[in-house]
């Protein structure tokens, strides 16, 4: 108290003696762009991680000679980022910067004739559509939509514009608060009142307008429909597309609301005819998640991604094609035991390229429609994140655990790739990364489990290293060759840790049987898989089995909380980020009920449901009496998927049990950590905790 009082006194005196300060000259914050940084060593730090340029959204010019893309750089002092646009030849030559503003440019696309580049910017206060010449000159605003736009697509004939913007329905219960202008209360009478990190007060609708000088408002093709397109929270403009003749809009929508919406994943593909406003559901009767429609170049077919079962968000993602003339639908992935993502047609209408995960890497595949055969194009220790046909080559982005995203060209005949962009070459050249190895480990039920092992830079096999078990979230998302700006394996390795990252039961890329085993079996076989992985590595002479840690987020956080009560003294430190701690409260706190209904088996009050009762019996909070190991709990207040009280419950339980614990709480973050300074704070807290108990 005395110390605090002294600081207050100093503050008061500082105010008194400053008297009349000179008028300070307000300096504008500098433009955020690539910086030249000096490293103190060849090991990565949080500050270095946040200095990487983040490349995204490559778009190929109509003549297939030039790639348009964006790169984002962050500034820790300003606590924000800035995104600029660039072009480069498909041969890697002629890099050109197009923009140099303090207003990030997003969703840049070429016009059909290649003479203009469209993009979104908030330069005038709200996000609007702009255009410029391919050399970056002639910047001009096109839309002046009242609430701004969320996304857009220009029609192939360049006469029309579709854009998405939020529609705010009329307030209900106005008679209750019309005379209470300062009242902040909200009244709800149905579910799905909040989603991901937002209280739901509006819907994203699709508008169409003529592509004129200034667009204020177009026609709402979902007028008076209380539904959204694209779908929250992750759907983007890939869920909406023009037909090649500019006469039809294909869009994704789940035309449900309230309880029905929150219990169902059944979205559909709709075709909207511009000439008469007629809307047709082309996936009527298909009960799962149907998204991302893509017309063939000749307009005769449409392809999309389709899941079969309602309520299952991690069902197999199939590739469906509809012949618009015969109305015949074909599932081209009946015998393909993998998921498909990012469908794109070839110019000759004969093939479709897509991305699929197999054995923990995301590769490029091609479907030939004539014979229905699927061919794998690429193979390696990396992830491809999209593909664009460009004549005799493919343009794609590639990442790995050892390199952030860059643009590559791929030879489709042999799968060989060539790097085109080198956004982070200068930083990467100054860093030493640890080796990434593949290993198959036998599980308790005699299966083989693929596991990544990441070693520290300058690894010395004669030494013993503290080692971390990484627990993946999802729960059904692969541990592939991803590059993360939070869960970055090379960052962990740079701090002197070996990382064990298993593709345990419940992850894609190893067939549907392996993927689906986890449903209704939380705390079951997948936990044994984790223990099999860390036990196998603990036998290595370079692993210090007395200095093991366990870390993870989301379902990975659940895994950590579960391990805390069931690890039998294997671990000396835990870190759980946004994890599920109490499954009974989680069931009623989360927003998407289909998730907990499918994964947990149903509500905890259904005593006759054996699957549900087994799930809730394995809730981590039921094993707190066994906790004996220091734990760091991290959570964001804006996380409505797994609410912050889950982390608080775990932290409180640890403190009340006398277990050393810390709570890192972010009042302004959701299920992720997105702000630069929060990101650095996360990294520092993460490693301070591990170092305290494992070094």
Domain positions in the chain are 434-694
Alpha carbons 58 and 407: distance in angstroms, whole number: 8
Q: CB-based burial of residue 478 (10 Å sphere; 0-12 exposed, 13-18 middle, 19+ buried)? A: buried
User: E strand or H helix at 346, and its extent?
Assistant: none
pLDDT of residue 27: 64
Alpha carbons 675 and 614: distance in angstroms, whole number: 38
pLDDT of residue 51: 97
pLDDT of residue 37: 85
Q: CB-based burial of residue 80 (10 Å sphere; 0-12 exposed, 13-18 middle, 19+ buried)? A: middle
* CA trace torsion 135, 396, 485, 573 (10° rounding): 180
Q: Of the listed 75, 315, 599, 639, which one is catalytic?
A: 639
Task: Give the number of other CB atoms < 10 A from CB of residue 22.
Answer: 5
Alpha carbons 86 and 73: distance in angstroms, whole number: 13
Distances (CA, A) of 30 to 26, 131, 674: 12, 25, 21
- Which tokens in the block code for residue 506? 């419940």
List the strands of the sheet with 80-89, edge to edge: 54-60, 66-75, 80-89, 96-97
> What SS3 state is found at 361?
strand
Distances (CA, A) of 302 to 248, 277, 355, 395: 12, 20, 18, 22
CA 286 to chain centre: 26
Q: CB-based burial of residue 93 (10 Å sphere; 0-12 exposed, 13-18 middle, 19+ buried)? A: exposed
* CA trace torsion 639, 642, 643, 648 (10° rounding): -120
Active site residue 671: yes
Helices 525-538/555-564 angle, 10° precision: 70
Alpha carbons 508 and 180: distance in angstroms, whole number: 52
> What SS3 state is found at 38?
coil
Helices (H), 25-165: 46-49
Active site residue 296: no
Residue found by looking up tokens 């490559």 in the block: 58
- Which tokens in the block code for residue 338? 């993998």
The dihedral through the CA atoms of 372, 378, 382, 387 has a sign that is: negative
pLDDT of residue 212: 85
The residue ranges of the chain whose pLDDT is under 70 are: 1-27, 171-173
Identify the CA nearest to 515 among candidates 309, 239, 672, 253: 309
Alpha carbons 135 and 68: distance in angstroms, whole number: 11
pLDDT of residue 175: 75
Active site residue 554: yes
User: Which runs of E-coded beta strand occur in 445-531?
Assistant: 448-454, 465-471, 498-502
Identify the CA nearest to 661 among candidates 544, 581, 588: 581
**pTM for this predicted structure:** 0.94
Cβ(485)–Cβ(434) under 8 Å? no
pLDDT of residue 25: 52
Q: Of the listed 205, 382, 621, 671, which one is catalytic?
A: 671
The CATH H-level superfamily of 434-694 is: Alpha/Beta hydrolase fold, catalytic domain (3.40.50.1820)
Cα angle vertex 268, ends 265, 269, to 5°?
A: 150
pLDDT of residue 300: 98
Task: Give the number of other CB atoms < 10 A from CB of residue 267.
Answer: 26
Cis link prior to 148 (omega < 30° from 0)?
A: no
Q: Of the listed 400, 519, 554, 615, which one is catalytic?
A: 554
Distances (CA, A) of 8 to 16, 17, 18, 501, 637: 13, 15, 16, 49, 29
DSSP 230-286: S-TTT--GGGEEE-TTSSEEEEEE----HHHHHH---BEEEEEETTT--EEETTTT-
- 125 HSE (CA, 13 A, CB side): 4
Identify the CA nearest to 491 among candidates 167, 17, 23, 47: 47
Alpha carbons 349 and 326: distance in angstroms, whole number: 16
Cβ(425)–Cβ(71) under 8 Å? no
The dihedral through the CA atoms of 257, 258, 264, 265 has a sign that is: positive
């Amino acid at each position: 108290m005395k110390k605090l009082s002294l600081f207050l006194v100093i503050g008061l005196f500082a105010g008194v003696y400053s008297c009349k300060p000179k008028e300070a000259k307000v300096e504008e914050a500098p433009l955020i762009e690539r910086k030249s940084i000096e490293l103190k060593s060849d090991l990565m730090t949080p500050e270095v991680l946040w200095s990487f340029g983040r490349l995204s959204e490559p778009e190929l010019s109509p003549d297939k000679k030039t790639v348009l893309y964006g790169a984002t750089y962050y500034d820790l002092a300003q606590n924000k980022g800035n995104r600029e646009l660039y072009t480069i030849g498909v041969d890697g030559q002629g890099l050109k910067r197009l923009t140099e503003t303090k207003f990030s440019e997003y969703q840049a696309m070429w016009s059909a004739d290649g003479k203009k580049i469209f993009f979104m910017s908030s330069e005038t206060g709200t996000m609007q559509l702009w255009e410029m010449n391919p050399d970056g000159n002639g910047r001009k605003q096109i839309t002046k939509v009242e609430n701004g736009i969320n996304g857009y697509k220009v029609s192939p004939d360049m006469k029309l514009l579709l854009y998405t913007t939020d529609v705010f329905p009329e307030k209900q219960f106005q008679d209750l608060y019309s005379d209470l202008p300062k009242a902040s209360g909200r009244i709800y009478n149905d579910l799905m009142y909040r989603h991901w990190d937002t209280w739901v007060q509006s819907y994203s609708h699709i508008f169409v307008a003529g592509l004129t000088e200034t667009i204020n408002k177009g026609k709402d093709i979902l007028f008076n429909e209380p539904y959204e397109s694209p779908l929250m929270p992750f759907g983007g403009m890939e869920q909406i597309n023009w037909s090649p003749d500019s006469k039809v809009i294909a869009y994704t929508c789940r035309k449900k609301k309230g309880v029905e919406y929150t219990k169902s994943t059944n979205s559909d593909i709709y075709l909207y005819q511009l000439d008469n406003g007629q809307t047709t559901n082309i996936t009527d009767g298909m009960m799962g998640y149907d998204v991302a429609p893509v017309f063939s170049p000749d307009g005769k077919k449409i392809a999309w991604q389709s899941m079969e079962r309602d309520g299952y968000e991690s069902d197999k993602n199939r590739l469906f094609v509809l012949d618009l003339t015969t109305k015949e639908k074909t599932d081209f992935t009946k015998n393909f035991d993998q998921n498909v993502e990012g469908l794109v047609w070839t110019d000759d209408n004969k093939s479709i390229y897509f991305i699929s995960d197999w054995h923990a890497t995301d590769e490029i595949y091609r479907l030939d429609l004539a014979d229905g055969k699927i061919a794998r194009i690429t193979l390696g220790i990396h992830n491809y994140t999209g593909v664009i046909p460009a004549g005799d080559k493919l343009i794609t982005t590639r990442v790995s655990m050892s390199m952030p995203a860059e643009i590559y060209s791929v030879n489709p005949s042999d799968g060989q790739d060539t790097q085109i962009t080198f956004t982070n070459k200068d930083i990467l050249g100054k860093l030493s990364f640890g080796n990434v190895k593949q290993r198959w480990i036998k599980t308790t039920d005699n299966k083989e489990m693929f596991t990544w092992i990441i070693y520290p830079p300058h690894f010395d096999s004669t030494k013993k290293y503290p080692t971390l078990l990484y627990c993946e979230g999802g729960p059904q998302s692969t541990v592939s060759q991803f590059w993360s700006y939070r869960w970055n394996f090379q960052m962990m390795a740079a701090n002197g840790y070996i990382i064990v990252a298993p593709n345990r039961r419940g992850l894609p890329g190893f067939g549907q049987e392996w993927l689906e085993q986890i449903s209704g079996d939380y705390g079951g076989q997948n936990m044994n898989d984790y223990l099999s992985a860390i036990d196998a590595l603990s036998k290595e002479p370079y692993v210090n089995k007395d200095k093991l840690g366990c870390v993870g987020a989301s379902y990975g956080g659940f895994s950590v909380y579960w391990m805390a009560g069931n690890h039998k003294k294997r671990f000396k430190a835990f870190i759980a980020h946004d994890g599920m701690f109490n499954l009974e409260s989680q069931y009623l706190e989360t927003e998407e009920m289909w998730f907990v209904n499918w994964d947990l088996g149903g509500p905890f009050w259904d005593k006759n449901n054996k699957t549900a009762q087994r799930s809730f019996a394995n809730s981590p909070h039921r094993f707190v009496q066994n906790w004996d190991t220091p734990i760091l709990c991290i959570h964001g207040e804006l996380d409505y998927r797994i609410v912050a009280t889950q982390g608080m419950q775990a932290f409180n339980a640890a403190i009340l049990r006398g277990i050393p614990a810390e709570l890192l709480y972010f009042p302004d973050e959701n299920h992720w950590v997105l702000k630069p300074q929060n990101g650095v704070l996360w990294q520092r807290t993460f490693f301070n905790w591990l170092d305290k108990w494992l070094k």
